[in-house]
Amino acid sequence: MEMTTTKVQNDTKYPVYIVLGSGGHTAEMCTINMALLSSSRGKEIYNPLRYIIANDDITSRSRITSAMQKVGVALDDTSFIYVPRSRKVGQSYFSSVFTTLWALLWSCWLVWRDQPKLLLCNGPGTCVPFCLATSICRRIGRLPNTTRIVFVESWCRVRTLSLSGKLMRPMLDLLVVQWPALAEKYKNAYNVKYFGKIM
């Protein structure tokens, strides 16, 4: 799978931010990462890597580390950034307002500090503040116009976008869908693309 439409700037000073969820989201992101980094060209473009993980996620780090070992990419402590979760499962909507604001502040600070050249995500709630932060920093000139926000919709979303996809679609440079029915529904959207099933 190639994402040449993202126009990632080839500069090792600026990291690639990859947001990991938990469970199925991380499994899908492992597959995506293995595809992107399976060639020497991919390893050159998508470098350095910074994986964004919710601070209560206890499985994603080991899963992505194992996946990257299969394509010859070694990860260490500097490859991971732990952040507050926007909303936990079962958390009330009222209290989630405050946790989401806190997560957004964290995201803005990290994006401002690191100036990522690409934000790649596939649906976990953790990615919403980072998409907002990246969009804001790009608008105010902290990030170059070449910085891209790419969202790969989950394989299980056949006819409708996920809530994260719906919320973030206006600020995304590329929203990848994996089913023809979903591609047809958004055929007039400039940033929605269908490349076939990539999982």
Domain ranges within the chain, ordered by starting residue: 10-194
196 pLDDT band, cuts 50/70/90, is confident
- Tell me the β-bridge partners of 149: 119
Q: Which residues of 21-45 are buried (b: 16+ CB within 10 A; e: fewer)?
A: bbeebbbbbbbbbbbbbeeeebeeb
For residue 183, how many C-alpha atoms fall within 13 Å in the half-sphere facing its CB? 13
Residues 92-97, mean pLDDT to the nearest whole number: 72
Q: Which H/E stretch holds residue 44? A: helix 40-45
C-alpha to C-alpha distance for 114 and 64, rounded to whole angstroms? 21
Measured CA to CA in angstroms, residue 194 lies from 49, 120, 144 at distances of 25, 16, 26
Q: What would the pLDDT profile of 19-47 be if each residue is shown by its tens digit?
A: 998 778 899 999 999 999 999 999 999 99
C-alpha to C-alpha distance for 11 and 43, rounded to whole angstroms? 12
pTM of the model: 0.89
Listed as own residue / partner, the contacts of 5-9 with beta carbons closer than 8 Å and 24 or more positions apart are 5/174, 5/193, 6/118, 6/148, 6/150, 6/173, 6/174, 7/146, 7/148, 8/45, 8/46, 8/117, 8/118, 8/146, 8/148, 9/117, 9/144, 9/146, 9/147
Q: Is the pLDDT of residue 199 over 80?
A: no
Tokens at residue 97, please?
């307002």
Q: Is the pLDDT of residue 184 over 70?
A: yes
Class of domain 10-194: alpha beta
C-alpha to C-alpha distance for 119 and 15, rounded to whole angstroms? 9
Q: Would you state the pLDDT for residue 1? A: 46
